[in-house]
Amino acid sequence: MKRERLDKVLANMGKGTRKEVKQLIKQRLVTVDGKLATDPGMHVIPEQQVIEIDGKPLLFKRWIYVMLNKPDGVISATEDSFHETVVDLLPEEWAHKVHPVGRLDIDTEGLLLLTNDGQLSHSLLSPKKKVDKEYYARIDGRVTEEHVAAFSQGVTLDDEYVTLPAKLEILESGDTSEIHVTIMEGKFHQVKRMFAAFGLRVMYLKRLRMGSLLLDDSLELGDYRELTEEELLALRNGSDAPDA
């Protein structure tokens, strides 16, 4: 385990900017293993040592993995001047550290993973890994078996890009149709553009799954929780599969 500067560790745990953290230390409020910390640059091993601020021990976590049920109207970004972002929904100690793994459109709901684990994020998003994403959608128009067959062959989008084969399942077909669709890419507005290629409009879109990770149906819109060890292990095993 590596040693890190105390002020950096505290700042990364959301206890203030580096300047603010140095003030806490100057005010004699920080201890390490029961001893007063006087040097912001002292090196600590946060996984092994007990760090306290004003007598309250800090729980250090190097890696954070959060499942969010993203609501409509929130953008998949870490900052924005005009809209609420997904990290705005998280506690302060997580918000400044994590990033969304991939993006959901502002009007798309559902499963979004946020983490500070860049390696896992890269693996899940790598086109070579072909990590599949499953969505539920309501479609303005009748979805038929002809569409199912077309999706299974790949769909030509408005920019002439041909998608990888996708699995389309019809739940209900009518003037308004309900479907599940599973894709292995993350092109801009991909699901909407795939249906638009057939003159159909996506009215509502919700992501249900990413690889092995299923949206916890007990999470209300805007709610979040940390991944379980089992979920994380399955996600890592899936993303570590050999390149196709």
- What's the predicted TM-score (pTM) here? 0.81
pLDDT of residue 98: 93
Residue 199 CA to residue 201 CA, distance in Å, equals 7
Residue 187 CA to residue 99 CA, distance in Å, equals 19
pLDDT of residue 241: 46
pLDDT of residue 148: 98
pLDDT of residue 9: 87
Query: Domain-by-domain residue ranges, the chain?
Result: 4-57, 65-127+216-239, 133-210
pLDDT of residue 240: 58
Q: Do domains 65-127+216-239 and 133-210 have the same CATH topology?
A: yes
Catalytic amino acids? 105
* The CATH homologous superfamily of the domain defined by 133-210: Alpha-L RNA-binding motif (3.30.70.1560)
Do 100 and 76 form a contact (C-beta atoms < 8 A)? yes
Q: What is the mean pLDDT of each run of 10 residues along the chain (244 residues)?
A: 88 82 94 95 92 90 92 95 94 86 96 95 91 97 98 97 97 98 94 98 98 97 96 86 43
Q: Which of 24, 30, 32 is nearest to 3 (CA)?
A: 32
Q: Please, what CATH class does the domain formed by 4-57 belong to?
A: alpha beta
pLDDT of residue 243: 44
Instruction: State the maximum Cα–Cα separation within the chain, in Å, rounded to a whole number.
Output: 71
Q: Please, what CATH class does the domain formed by 65-127+216-239 belong to?
A: alpha beta
